[in-house]
């Protein structure tokens, strides 16, 4: 069964020799950046070293995705469940957005990248929120690739919040239950304004969604690789898009 999900070496090299179809680039790619801890462990390093290395990969992926014509890139940086990790690791992860943005914001600006955050900001430390908000504000007029950080994001939490708010709006009479349709639900989620991801990538060999964009990924193509996130290279992104281009999306039709 696993072979149906993972590419083989042969498919890999063959695909990398075939140019991508520029007319069929996924508009929105979402990535579950997994395997930082194992990458560090394999090297006898502390887990945070894996996160540091994982952060360095982001810039390269943003640049390559942009170059290939991807318009939206959503990165799962911290889930609502990640608070269960040791405090030292959580504290380190919470410092990564400011570290990343203080170094990379000028380059993101130069490349016309627009930064956005998707998640419950209320539980994030103020230094994290401030750094991200600054980047969101300063890049708000940019018109290039939209880089969406899922930070303290959990799909079930997002759906519960949306349902609570919708219930309140019904109770106050501002909407009627009959008004609720798929478009309204999408607009009431944190991803409002973004198209649903065309392609989901998860690294590190895990084949699960881990509470990530459950509504939005309803018709996305999934691509899993055993590559650990800190080892993720341009060629892996290209391979994922190649595989995407070979899929026939039917959206329930024939
Ligand atoms: C999962 O690997 C990774 C995370 C929970 C954190 C991902 C964060 C980054 C890649 C950097 C974020 C940077 C910015 C700028 C927001 P894991 O720790 O679960 O790995 P393991 O499964 O091997 O233990």
- pLDDT by residue (tens digit) across 206-241? 999 999 999 999 999 999 999 999 999 999 999 999
Report d(CA 151, CA 76) in Å as an integer.
Answer: 7
Ligand 1 atom index nearest CA of 206:
22
Q: Determine whether the shortest distance from the Cβ of 155 to ligand 1 is under 6 A.
A: no
> Please, are residues 198 and 27 in contact by the beta-carbon 8 Å criterion?
yes
Decide: 229 in ligand 1 pocket, CB within 6 A: yes
Q: Does the C-beta of 119 come closer than 6 Å to ligand 1?
A: no
Domain definitions of the chain by residue range: 2-11+25-154+196-246
Average pLDDT over residues 25-54: 98
So which residues are the catalytic ones?
34, 82
The response to whether residue 33 sits with its C-beta less than 6 Å from ligand 1 reads yes
- In this prediction, residues 16-24 reach a mean pLDDT of 88
Residue 216 CB less than 6 A away from ligand 1 = no
Which residue, chain included where needed, has tokens 């990379």? 104
Residues 98-129: b if buried by 16+ CB within 10 A, e if exposed: bebbeebbeebbebebbbbbbbeeeebeeebb
Q: Give CATH superfamily name and number for 2-11+25-154+196-246.
A: Decaprenyl diphosphate synthase-like (3.40.1180.10)
- Does 2 have pLDDT greater than 90? no
- For strand 28-32 and strand 72-79, is the pairing parallel, antiparallel, or unpaired? parallel
| Backbone dihedral angles phi then psi of residue 74, each to the nearest 5 degrees | -105, 125
Measured between alpha carbons, how far is 124 from 155 in angstroms, rounded to an integer? 17
Residue 250 pLDDT: 87
Q: 78 alpha carbon to ligand 1 midpoint, in Å? A: 7
**What digits encode the pLDDT tens for the residues 134-185?**
999 999 999 999 999 999 999 999 999 999 999 999 999 999 999 999 999 9
**Closest approach atom of ligand 1 to CA 47:** 18
What is 144-155 written as a DSSP string?
Answer: S-EEEEEEEE-H
Residue 55 Cα, ligand 1 centroid: separation in angstroms? 8
């Amino acid at each position: 069964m696993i072979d149906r999900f993972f590419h083989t070496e042969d498919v890999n090299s063959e695909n990398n020799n075939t140019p991508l179809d520029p007319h069929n680039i996924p508009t929105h790619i979402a990535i579950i950046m997994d395997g930082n801890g194992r990458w560090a462990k394999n090297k006898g390093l502390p887990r945070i070293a894996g996160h540091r290395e994982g952060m360095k990969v982001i810039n390269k992926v943003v640049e390559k995705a942009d170059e290939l014509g991807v318009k939206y890139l959503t990165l799962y940086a911290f889930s609502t469940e990640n608070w269960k990790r040791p405090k030292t690791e959580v504290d380190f992860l919470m410092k990564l957005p400011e570290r990343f943005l203080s170094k990379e914001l000028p380059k993101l600006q130069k490349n016309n990248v627009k930064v956005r955050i998707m998640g419950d900001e209320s539980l994030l430390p103020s230094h994290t929120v401030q750094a991200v908000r600054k980047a969101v504000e300063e890049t708000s007029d940019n018109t290039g690739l939209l880089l969406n950080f899922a930070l303290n994001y959990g799909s079930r939490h997002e759906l519960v919040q949306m349902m609570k708010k919708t219930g309140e709006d019904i109770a106050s009479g501002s909407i009627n239950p009959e008004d609720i349709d798929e478009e309204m639900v999408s607009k009431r989620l944190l991803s409002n304004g973004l198209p649903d991801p065309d392609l989901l990538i998860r690294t590190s060999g895990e084949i699960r969604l881990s509470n990530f964009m459950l509504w939005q990924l309803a018709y996305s193509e999934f691509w899993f690789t055993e590559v650990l996130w800190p080892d993720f290279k341009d060629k892996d992104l290209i391979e994922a898009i190649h595989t995407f281009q070979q899929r026939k999306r039917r959206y329930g039709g024939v």
